[in-house]
Amino acid sequence: MGLPREPARPSAKETPCAGAEPAAVSALETASLRLFLERKGRSGKTVTRLAGLPPGERSARLVKELKQRLGCGAALEESAVFFQGDQRARLLILLKEFGARNVKIV
């Protein structure tokens, strides 16, 4: 009287793929990022400084994407990125979307 039962499907945890490699950890996930609000030495203009971003081409692409999403100007300098205006709260949300785990507003 009942419906025929389907065979039980094994869960993904029980059957690992034979050739599967562990997921690569991005540099952004392990980086310790800090957001600062600065006004000194900038003629009274407010900027948000993002420190701790890993160097390399990936950082330049990340900064370009952040600039577009925030809709503000930014400058990539030696060890930090400077965004125009107070962008701390919005940057925190965007960096978490990109996979950053350790981000603090100072």
Q: What is the pLDDT of residues 7-51, one digit of tens each?
A: 666 655 555 555 555 545 677 888 899 999 999 988 899 999 999
3-state DSSP assignment of residue 28: helix
Give the pLDDT of residue 8: 64
Q: Where are the beta strands (DSSP E) in the chain?
A: 32-38, 47-51, 74-76, 80-84, 102-105
| pLDDT tens figures, 65-85 | 999 999 999 998 888 999 999
- Predicted model pTM: 0.73
Give the Å distances, CA to CA, from 39 to 1, 5, 32, 47, 73: 77, 68, 23, 6, 16
Task: Please determine, for residue 61, whether its predicted confidence score (pLDDT) is greater than 80.
Answer: yes
Q: Which domains does the chain have, with CATH numbers?
A: 33-105 (3.30.780.10)
* pLDDT at residue 41 in the model: 87
